A = this chain, B = another copy of it.
Amino acid sequence: MIIGAGNVAWQLASAFFKAGITVEQVYARNKQSANELAKKVLAEPICSIDDLIETADLYLLCITDDSISSIAENFPPIAGIVAHTSGAKALSTLNANQNCGVFYPLQTMVKNQNTDFNEVPILCEGNSGAVEAALMDLALRLSTNVHAIDSNQRQKLHVAAVFANNFTNHMLAKAYQICTENNIPFRVLKPLIAETVEKAFIENPKLHQTGPAARNDVQTIAQHISLLRKKTDQNLYNTITQSIQNQIDETEL
C-alpha cells in the first residue's frame, strides 16, 4: 500500500514491485497520478482515503511532510503499520495509529530515473520492537544498508542531508548557470568537484576548505560579487563566504 504518487512513492513502489513485494493499492488525490503509478506496479489506483483496504500489512506515506499528519489522522482504524518516509517528521506525528513507524530512505529520487536501492541507507524506527523489526526486514529486501535510528537523530541527519544534498545541488546549479551563460562547458568543473567530494570522506571537509573566502582574498571576493548580476546571487555569495570565514575563525579559537 503506497500513499502518494510523487518521486519517493514512484521509486519505492517500483522497487517493492521488483523485489516481489505486492503493492495492493496506490492512493493519490490526483487520479491520473494514481493511475500511472498503479499501472506500473499492478496495483489498484484510489483517490479517496475511504477506499483504503483495511487489511494491508503496511501503509507507507510517501507524501510531503506537511500533509502527513492530516492524511494519517483520517485513516480508518487498522491493524497494519502506518509508516512515513520523511527525514524531518517525528514518529509521534503518527501517534493516532496503533502501529506506526518511519521508513526513511536517505537518497534523492526523481520519477524518471530508477533508484538503485541496494546501497541506499534506509533508516527505520517503530513504536514497538515488533514494528521496527518488520520495517527493517522490509528495508533489507531493498538495501544492504539498513539502520535503526531514533526520531531525534533522524531529524538532525535530515538537516545534514539538506546541506549535503539539496544545498550542494543548488551550488552546482548556480555553477552550471554561470558556465552556460558564458559558453563554458560545465564538465570542465567535473575533476574539481570529484576531488572535493572524495576528500570530504577522507577527513573533515572543513580542514581542506580553499578559495577566496578561506584565504580572505578581499579583492577576489569583491570582483566575484560584481560579476554576479543579480542581487540575490550576490547575497548568496556573501552569506556563504561569511559562513566559511566564521567556521575558520571557530577553528582557530
Contacts and interface: CB of A to CB of B under 8 A. Distances in A.
Given A88-B224, A173-B247, A193 B164 contact: yes
Among A163, A183, A199, A206, chain B packs the most CB atoms within 10 A around the CB of A163
A10 to B, nearest CB: 13
Interface in A168-220: 168-184, 186-197, 199-201, 204-206, 208-215, 217-220
From A89, A106, A162, name the one whose CB has the most chain B CB atoms within 10 angstroms.
A162
B66 A166 contact: no
A196 B168 contact: yes
A74 interface: no
Interface string A235-248: 11101101110110
A47 interface: no
A246 B230 CA distance: 11
Contact of A239 (B152, B210, B236): B236
A160 interface: yes
A121 interface: yes
Given A209-B173, A243-B170, A190 B201 contact: yes
Interface residues of A, number: 97
A110 to B, nearest CB: 5
Interface string A114-140: 000001110000000000000000000
B172 A197 contact: yes
A113 to B, nearest CB: 8
A171 B164 CA distance: 6
A159 B176 contact: no
Contacts of A166: 209-214, 244
A53 to B, nearest CB: 28
A141 interface: no
A62 to B, nearest CB: 13
Interface of A: 7, 64-66, 86, 88-89, 106-110, 113, 119-121, 145, 147, 149, 152-153, 155-184, 186-197, 199-201, 204-206, 208-215, 217-220, 223-224, 227-228, 232-233, 235-237, 239-240, 242-244, 246-247
17 contacts: A65-B212, A88-B217, A107-B195, A121-B191, A153-B184, A160-B174, A162-B213, A163-B172, A163-B174, A165-B193, A165-B211, A167-B240, A168-B171, A170-B240, A170-B243, A173-B200, A174-B247
